[in-house]
Structure 1
């Protein structure tokens, strides 16, 4: 061990000289540190240093890298010497299994990227939804609602409230043109949204927003809040298709991936059997 530490220090100093003496010529195979039978070469340090680093910083960084490398190797040797043969064999098996899994999964991913049909028709989505409706019960309340918040001292407060209450398209368009006056807003009440998300933005109770209403308002010390609830869906109701359409697409794609891999597995086994590369005794 004493010899290793001395050798390590000598080669560390040698590596530092490389970064302080520009005129020194070196080769890519030059050794900068040794721990037992493991060697660290100058070439291994190529990618350690970032661009535009000072000479002083490069010395510090290289020293740190060599020390970390040496400590890792020394720890590894200690661990190997203090592990039973059974433990080492178990680790080798785990490493091999992990390597095989990585290779197989990488190959499967390549197959999926090349061969998977990702085009899903609206008809297919609707069919899947109708066949699996009972699996799409809501875990949260949904609402179709619009809301805005603005400074309570805003001069055109009455005009904004009037526009907000109106169902006329031109009034809604005018309201959207005033959105720069709003602190928060969402004027699209044609899509289903989780009620809890809205409650994070407006200071109303859940009970207030679980009732259809064309207009409710609330005021605090700084702002005025307006909300209109067009429709509601309570928990345990079947989720509307529009709300879970993207989720269904992912389910269909996942099913296709499984079927594709199974088909490939059958082809691989069939080819191996045909070519006498796979036999069962």
Structure 2
């Protein structure tokens, strides 16, 4: 479809102050498709306050072009799908009703849903549903650093990294300037796939050899030295640790509460309406 150019119309939008009347309507039209008009005031919401005249012209031109295309398609559809009009009206009615109902439900949930989740809530949910939380990939706890291959204090950094003393770890952290990248919190579980994505060189290591508790790996390329210590490993189909699955548990608890809240509201609504004889079943 050829682009519809509306330079003259845009000039009227941005510069003209003359008004003319169409069917006793003093609004200024900027485009028309059959008997449907687009007016200048309809474009007010599409412009930002700090927009230049050039940008305004481009935005207006695109909006008008899209408006014309949409209404031409709508007109063509109404002519060629005349037999489907009743079906479409039903769909529109159904959509309108669903929109009102869902908006009401969202407002109710926002106002009444209890969003406070305690550790006891998480523990109880985890214990009841533990078998549903099997891993579909490996998790690891690890330490990792990447340093320059030829830096002067390389041996010191390697010694600090391999140490299990907290003071040495703290000392290593203070030397962050020498670390090209690192992960030193080996108390949290991480997807093994994420580790490989960020440390491509580990893909050269056999997976079975890599995924061992206490495993230390030292690899290098032309520029860098990579050090990895695997503290712990969970295999595929192992039960996911609670600390790892906690965000998901919170979402599931909230979802259950939401469903229960809506169910109670619906039951209360029907009960009240029944008492007031607001509906009958024949």
Instruction: Name the counterpart of 2:86.
Output: 89
Per-residue deviation at 1:243?
Answer: 1.0
Per-residue deviation at 1:135?
Answer: 0.4
Q: 1:67 to 1:151 in 2, by over 3 A?
A: closer
Secondary structure of the 1:183 match is strand
The separation in 2 between residues aligned to 1:123 and 1:81, in whole angstroms, is: 62
Per-residue deviation at 1:150?
Answer: 0.5
Matched, 1:16 2:15: no
TM-score by length of 2: 0.85
Instruction: Name the counterpart of 1:135.
Output: 132
Instruction: Name the counterpart of 2:270.
Output: 269
Instruction: Name the counterpart of 1:196.
Output: 193
Q: 1:124 to 1:32 in 2, by over 3 A?
A: closer
Instruction: Name the counterpart of 2:75.
Output: 77
Per-residue deviation at 1:42?
Answer: 3.1
Secondary structure of the 2:198 match is coil
Per-residue deviation at 1:261?
Answer: 0.3
Aligned length: 269
The separation in 2 between residues aligned to 1:233 and 1:107, in whole angstroms, is: 44
Q: 1:162 to 1:66 in 2, by over 3 A?
A: closer
Contact 1:140–1:195 (CA under 8 A) maintained in structure 2:
yes
Aligned Cα root-mean-square deviation (Å): 2.6
Contact 1:212–1:230 (CA under 8 A) maintained in structure 2:
yes
Q: 1:66 to 1:217 in 2, by over 3 A?
A: closer
Secondary structure of the 1:147 match is strand
How far does the alpha carbon of each residue in 1:9-39 deviate from its partner, in whole angstroms, 9 at most, with x for none?
A: 9x995773463445x4679624444433323
The separation in 2 between residues aligned to 1:60 and 1:169, in whole angstroms, is: 61
The separation in 1 between residues aligned to 2:189 and 2:99, in whole angstroms, is: 41
Instruction: Name the counterpart of 1:6.
Output: none
Contact 2:19–2:26 (CA under 8 A) maintained in structure 1:
no
Comparing 57-66 with 40-49, greater Cα deviation is found at: 57-66
The separation in 1 between residues aligned to 2:57 and 2:247, in whole angstroms, is: 54
Instruction: Name the counterpart of 1:109.
Output: 106
Per-residue deviation at 1:137?
Answer: 0.8
Matched, 1:53 2:52: yes
The separation in 1 between residues aligned to 2:38 and 2:238, in whole angstroms, is: 65
Contact 1:28–1:43 (CA under 8 A) maintained in structure 2:
no
Contact 2:13–2:30 (CA under 8 A) maintained in structure 1:
no
Instruction: Name the counterpart of 1:251.
Output: 252
The separation in 2 between residues aligned to 1:229 and 1:242, in whole angstroms, is: 18
Matched, 1:99 2:88: no
Instruction: Name the counterpart of 1:4.
Output: none
The separation in 2 between residues aligned to 1:236 and 1:148, in whole angstroms, is: 29
TM-score by length of 1: 0.86
The separation in 2 between residues aligned to 1:49 and 1:28, in whole angstroms, is: 22
How far does the alpha carbon of each residue in 1:223-270 deviate from its partner, in whole angstroms, 9 at most, with x for none?
A: 111111111111111111111111111111110000000000001111
Contact 1:141–1:232 (CA under 8 A) maintained in structure 2:
yes
Q: Mind listing any 5+ residue stretches in structure 2 that lack a counterpart? A: none
Instruction: Name the counterpart of 1:147.
Output: 144
Per-residue deviation at 1:49?
Answer: 4.4
